[in-house]
Structure 1
């Protein structure tokens, strides 16, 4: 086998390997990051419609782009700038309104935000490839449509991790002490207006009650310490209703044909054409010796 044929075989194998390997997508985890060792990513589609996504990129993230990928968010860049300029997130906006050939217009694009835990959203002055999100912080993406630079909408989800789940409170009184407002042991009181069985009728209305027993009008309110719904602490399940799917997004057709695959196929085609031309010339020279 000549050196040229060996080179053709190697390039064909490499091209086949490139074609068969789809882009890798990180899984991330649904919901907020539980602590300050990861970066929480929030996607607010605004006028595009759809539920807001909250996902966690575990561990340290080198760039905002890395945080998007590690959280399992499906992103599309532009043909001119690649993923250095995020044009589409989870397929929105669609190809019918944004072809992603060049930088999207200022009237309809994904605005990039960041915030510390418990702080406020700040519009990023750096690109997604140039900013390093601190561990425990929040990265936000909010679609801005027909807004000015001063009125770009921040994500509508506060950058705040929920408090950890608190143990439930018990309302049982100490042993041996009946709870206030309840009758003493020995049975339930008879229905109103009826004397107890075998006993004497109750005193008339003009008979004062025995000393130390309050009337129904002056019965003190119950001192039960049952918490109200407004005092229930938030749990770590907050935000899961706005969470993206647990599984990572699968590669979509809109990702396009990989450039490396196209180059590999082109190189193989050129070499095969050259090899065929060389073989044809050799046969012609053999058939027509000078």
Structure 2
């Protein structure tokens, strides 16, 4: 493969990644499913979630970090909100490191994409989606229907889909940063 062909292939791959992220940001939210009453064993988890909810609204002098496994409902990945000290713009990857959030890219895009967060989804985990089940191998691009998305929120404002990846995105004090796992377009955006 010539250098020109390689550059063209690499540019096409990155353009496809950008399109995937843009399309995901424009997807419509799924209908809310009815809930059932929680068993007594989840009372502690519910109290913890309420505590985190109030922590989410507290001011943070640094960058607030949230990880939500969303449709996967795998609490092993969930983090936060955690306030990471920052006195100026800092790389999102560094903020996540300081919040003890471990991200893994794909074989093809080790730094540009997020395939797993704190080991989720596990390589042997079945991800149920409209088309059946899927297992994330983290080889090239994550599936267009099941992926981690990156969101940024100003101190006062709405969540916005990040226009850059972890390696280049900078966040500032007062902002919030969220990694959210979406399956079949749900959840469509962070809720905190």
CA distance in 1 between counterparts of 2:182 and 2:141 reads: 14
CA distance in 2 between counterparts of 1:63 and 1:116 reads: 15
CA distance in 1 between counterparts of 2:175 and 2:191 reads: 16
- SS in structure 1 opposite 2:90? coil
1:90 matched to which residue of 2?
118
Q: Are the equivalent residues in 2 in contact too, given 1:111–1:152 (CA < 8 A)?
A: no
Change (3 A) 1:61 1:73: farther
Flag the structure with more relative contact order, 1 or 2, with Cα contacts below 8 A and sequence separation at least 6: 2
1:120 matched to which residue of 2?
158
2:19 matched to which residue of 1?
none
1:140 matched to which residue of 2?
178
1:53 matched to which residue of 2?
79
| Aligned-pair CA distance for 1:39 | 0.7
The normalised TM-score by structure 1 is 0.39
CA distance in 2 between counterparts of 1:122 and 1:35 reads: 19
Q: Are the equivalent residues in 2 in contact too, given 1:117–1:138 (CA < 8 A)?
A: yes
**Aligned with residue 73 of structure 1, among 101, 105, 110:** 101
| Aligned-pair CA distance for 1:62 | 2.4
| Aligned-pair CA distance for 1:152 | 5.9
Q: Are the equivalent residues in 2 in contact too, given 1:144–1:153 (CA < 8 A)?
A: yes
Where structure 2 has 5 or more consecutive residues not aligned to the other structure, the ranges are 1-51, 125-134
CA distance in 2 between counterparts of 1:153 and 1:99 reads: 23
| Aligned-pair CA distance for 1:133 | 0.6
Aligned Cα RMSD in Å?
A: 2.2
Q: How does 1:158-237 map to 2 (within 5 A)?
A: none
Where structure 1 has 5 or more consecutive residues not aligned to the other structure, the ranges are 1-29, 158-290
Number of residue pairs the alignment of both structures matches: 124
CA distance in 2 between counterparts of 1:144 and 1:155 reads: 10
| Aligned-pair CA distance for 1:47 | 1.3
CA distance in 2 between counterparts of 1:50 and 1:155 reads: 16
1:154 equivalenced with 2:189 (yes/no): yes
CA distance in 1 between counterparts of 2:84 and 2:108 reads: 27
CA distance in 2 between counterparts of 1:44 and 1:70 reads: 17
| Aligned-pair CA distance for 1:139 | 0.4
Q: Which has the higher strand share?
A: 2
- SS in structure 1 opposite 2:171? coil
CA distance in 1 between counterparts of 2:188 and 2:110 reads: 25
The normalised TM-score by structure 2 is 0.58
